[in-house]
Amino acid sequence: MRYLKEVLASRELLANLTLREIRGQYKRTIFGQLWSLVNPLASMLVYTLVFAFILRVEPEAGDPSGLDIFAVWLLCGLLPFAFFSNVVQQGMGSILGNVGLVQKVYFARIVLPLSKVGSVGYNWLFEMGVLVVVLVIFGAFVWPWLPLVVVTMVLLAIFAAGIALMLAVANVHFRDTQYFVSIIMQIWMYLTPIIYPISLVAVQSDKYGGLFGTSVTILDVYRINPLERFVAVFRQLLYDNRWPDPQDFLLCAIWALAAFTVGLWIFRRSEKGLAEAL
């Protein structure tokens, strides 16, 4: 309870750090906030060219929306993962990036990684806004589902924040963490059905049957990945325009709360020694 009061007392600092990140990110650039759209759009173009036109990957049409556009389907999965990846990697380096502040002033250190959640989330709102406009142009009826999209965004932010808190501590003690995590993120993306449909995994799962003579299949192991559930919910809401699968939505909430609880516990136990470790 006392720790919560300390965090609340630092809310003005959190707001100022978040605003500093937002204002400084594209300072003295000509296109400003538009640069936040370049990376996801460039990735979309490359993946669409390779997977849709060369490898001929065909995701299922939106049900009941009827959408059958690979680039739009891709963005519905790419943007959530990009948000998660950015929050984790920027939050992981937030303590090391503010060494002078941590060593000179006492405050709730948790505001440093949380400020990254706010700044990345600010950019992500623009990206999601563009995606919603594109969906509407192509005939999707997304408006009734936007409140649930916001709820899912919050759950994803909580999940990403929990992972970032753990890694921020690890990165202070083991500087190799940042390089290791960047590799893990690349692997994690390809282990999540973002640029290919999960139906391809299901086909391979049926082909090989149970693992080691058990009833557990490749698909069962594959779906342990929490990002698979988040991507599924986003696509169900934005691309399919329907209620998300209750199990997927429930697991998103469980993963979010579990990751943040563990991350907060680890960060609290390590917070007092961060200045000395730096």
pLDDT, one tens digit per residue, over 48-91 is: 888 878 878 778 788 888 888 999 999 999 999 999 999 999 99
CA gap 275, 100 in Å, rounded: 9
Amino acid occupying residue 272: K
CA-CA distances (angstroms) from residue 212 to 123, 180, 215, 217? Answer: 45, 30, 9, 9
Question: In the chain, which residue ranges form alpha helices assigned H by DSSP?
Answer: 2-9, 11-25, 35-47, 70-92, 99-104, 111-137, 146-173, 177-190, 198-208, 218-222, 226-238, 246-271, 274-277
pTM summary value: 0.92
Q: Tell which residue, 175, 169, 164, has the closest CA to residue 114.
A: 164
DSSP state of 51: I
Q: Measured between alpha carbons, how far is 111 from 14 in angstroms, rounded to an integer?
A: 5
**pLDDT (0 to 100) of residue 155:** 97
Q: So what's the pLDDT on residue 181?
A: 94
Residues of the chain with pLDDT under 70: 1-4, 6-7, 26-36, 212-213, 275-278
121-6-259 Cα angle (round to 5): 50
Q: Residue 33 has what pLDDT?
A: 63
Distance CA 250, CA 256 (A): 10
3-state DSSP of 137-168: HCCCCCHHHHHHHHHHHHHHHHHHHHHHHHHH
How far is the C-alpha of 129 from the C-alpha of 120, rounded, in Å? Answer: 14
- Residue count (the chain): 278
Helix axes of 11-25 and 2-9: crossing angle, nearest 10 degrees: 50
